[in-house]
A and B are shown apart, each in its own frame.
Chain A
Amino acid sequence: MGQPVLKGTTAGAAVVTLPAKPEIIALPAAPAKPFAAKLAPWIRAALVNLLPPLITLALILLFWQLAASGPQSSLPPPSKIWDEAKELIVQPFYWAGSQDIGLGWRILVSLQRVAIGFSLAAVFGVLLGTLVGQSIWATRGLDPVFQVLRTVPPLAWLPLSLAAFRDSQPSAIFVIFITAIWPVIINTAVGIRNIPQDYRNVAHVLRLNQIEFFYKIMVPSAAPYIFTGLRIGVGLSWLAIVAAEMLTGGVGIGFFIWDAWNSSRLSDIIVALVYIGVVGFLLDRLVALIGHVVTRGTATN
């Protein structure tokens, strides 16, 4: 209600001043501002946000270099890693035969598995979570089962899924699925249970049917919770894929680490770890960003 009043006063003020000195309107001054001055706040923001992590990184590398430089050191220092694994660092997408490929390709293979497993987990997780959140009997029946199953470590599922699918690819995807689905189910259920009674009353008064209620009230209202679950889920998926690939073999980044360990290429392993960390971070940001867009900023970061 305050806005129109404010507008009124500024408009009034303009009417009063205009006839007095109509020539001296300072508006054209803005483009005259030097380009550097416009850029300054951007540079400042970049410095404030980038400088501290860069300094931290430099300090870590320095400390690492000093600590690992001794003749008895069992781990390679950064300089040695650069010498030994330069090709992996600067060329993520080279292709020199079916087993000699860049880390970028390996990451993409792992990401593909995560994408399939995580998408399945997201769809079934939201549906099951809705069921559990909406029905008191489904909660009573399913919740204890979920609470027990969700504590099973991802890799414990692997032998069983290998036995069931008799192939490493679907087994790895199943492990992703079973790892990521629990936080999605649980957070969705909480989100559904927390739909305010007022929204339900609105739906009752409008006589929305079950389907309309699901996608017009339930999903948008629970979206912030659902995306919290999805974010936890995608993080767990990325944790699980590396471990699963170590055991199942194939092309992914997990198997690369295992392979490098078997041939004592410690530098390669460290490079792969950095790749995994960066990709995991980007995945988390991506889901958070989608959540932010979909829920129009109501999802908490």
Chain B
Amino acid sequence: MSYLKIDHVDKRFQRGAATTEVLKDVSLVIDKGEFVSIIGHSGCGKSTLLNLVAGLTPVSAGAILLEGKEVNAPGPDRAVVFQNHSLLPWLTVYDNVALAVNKVFGRKKTRAERHDWIMHNLDLVQMGHARDKRPGEISGGMKQRVGIARGLAMEPKILLLDEPFGALDALTRAHLQDSVMQIHAALGNTMIMITHDVDEAVLLSDRIIMLTNGPSARVGEVLDVRLARPRKRLELVTDRTYIAAREAVLKFLYERHRFVEAA
């Protein structure tokens, strides 16, 4: 049985009499422990697809199955790391993670265990030192780290990352990509990441799902990235497989499915 199965999913948005079909007949199977990236031009429905998996928006047709059970509502088993971190500004870094941990493990763990688990997850993203700071007092990269810690702390079956590094500068982004790779290697989480960065997709993923342009976006191609882990960004620059994978994605995005409206 597949871990996550997206089965012939359509998504339409109704506004008055007008119907927009965002996703058309999307099917996908993701195995446990896999790191999958979804890439496509902006507006193609990447985030919509992620929201469907998260259960934040309902599917119009088809079904999404996680471990054989249909997904029809959001829940902590599919934690989301939001694009703009979505930390609650009135809570400290610690309390932001605590909100999730207390809700998810309030009955299963004692107070001390929960505290250890919060600190463990903050340390995992190297944010233990900033536990008493508020989101307004830390940098964008740090906020995103805390967002990842909050997601991981829910011990989700799947961690959904919605363009997690989109708003960060290139250096911070590289740091965080390395952190995510380390976490993925250490914990073996199943992760789905939305991105529009080709290098990021190739560096992090086991598979890259390329969506065609919307409306009615479909899965255009699926690329297996057969690079050994752990991956080191410097060594990969000259790696043949890396270059080939990068080229395949670029060709898909800029030759076969050029973003027509952009210009």
A positions within 8 Å CB-CB of B: 1-2, 196, 198-199, 201-202, 204-208, 212, 216-217, 220-221, 223, 295-296, 298
Give the docked Cα–Cα distance between A297 and B104 (Å): 30
Q: Considering only CB atoms, which chain A residue lies closest to B51 in the complex?
A: A201
B88, A204: Cβ atoms under 8 Å?
no
A221: B residues at CB distance < 8 A: 88, 90
B positions within 8 Å CB-CB of A: 54-56, 73-76, 78-80, 82, 84, 86, 88-90, 99-100, 103-104, 134, 139, 141-142, 154, 172
A205, B99: Cβ atoms under 8 Å?
no
B80: A residues at CB distance < 8 A: 201, 205
B78: A residues at CB distance < 8 A: 205
Query: How would you classify the secondary structure of chain B's contact residues: helix, strand, loop or mixed?
Result: loop
A–B pairs, 18, beta carbons within 8 Å: A1-B142, A2-B139, A199-B88, A202-B86, A202-B88, A205-B76, A205-B154, A206-B99, A206-B100, A206-B104, A207-B76, A212-B103, A217-B88, A220-B88, A221-B88, A295-B90, A296-B134, A298-B90
A217: B residues at CB distance < 8 A: 88
Give the docked Cα–Cα distance between A295 and B91 (Å): 10
Which of B73, B76, B84, B90 contacts A206, CB < 8 Å?
Answer: B76
Central interface residue in A201, A221, A296, by most chain B CB within 10 Å? A201
B76, A199: Cβ atoms under 8 Å?
no
Give the docked Cα–Cα distance between A217 and B88 (Å): 8
A205, B90: Cβ atoms under 8 Å?
no
Q: Considering only CB atoms, which chain A residue lies closest to B160 in the complex?
A: A205
Known A-B contacts A1-B142, A201-B80, A296-B134; the reply to A208 vs B86 at CB < 8 A is no
A204: B residues at CB distance < 8 A: 55-56, 73-74
A1, B139: Cβ atoms under 8 Å?
yes
B75: A residues at CB distance < 8 A: 205, 207
Which of B82, B103, B139, B141 contacts A201, CB < 8 Å?
Answer: B82
Q: Considering only CB atoms, which chain B residue lies closest to A196 in the complex?
A: B86
Shortest B77–chain A CB gap in Å is 10
A206, B103: Cβ atoms under 8 Å?
yes
A206: B residues at CB distance < 8 A: 76, 99-100, 103-104, 154
B54: A residues at CB distance < 8 A: 201, 205
B74, A207: Cβ atoms under 8 Å?
yes
Known: A202-B86, A204-B73, A221-B90. 20 other contacts (CB 8 A): A1-B139, A1-B141, A2-B139, A196-B86, A198-B86, A201-B54, A201-B80, A201-B82, A204-B55, A205-B56, A205-B75, A206-B76, A206-B103, A206-B104, A206-B154, A207-B74, A212-B103, A216-B99, A223-B90, A298-B90
Give the docked Cα–Cα distance between A296 and B134 (Å): 10
Shortest A300–chain B CB gap in Å is 14
A216: B residues at CB distance < 8 A: 99
Give the docked Cα–Cα distance between A150 and B141 (Å): 46
Give the docked Cα–Cα distance between A207 and B106 (Å): 13
Which of A201, A212, A223 contacts B56, CB < 8 Å?
Answer: A201
B100: A residues at CB distance < 8 A: 206
Known A-B contacts A212-B103, A295-B90; the reply to A198 vs B74 at CB < 8 A is no
Give the docked Cα–Cα distance between A123 and B103 (Å): 27
A205, B74: Cβ atoms under 8 Å?
yes
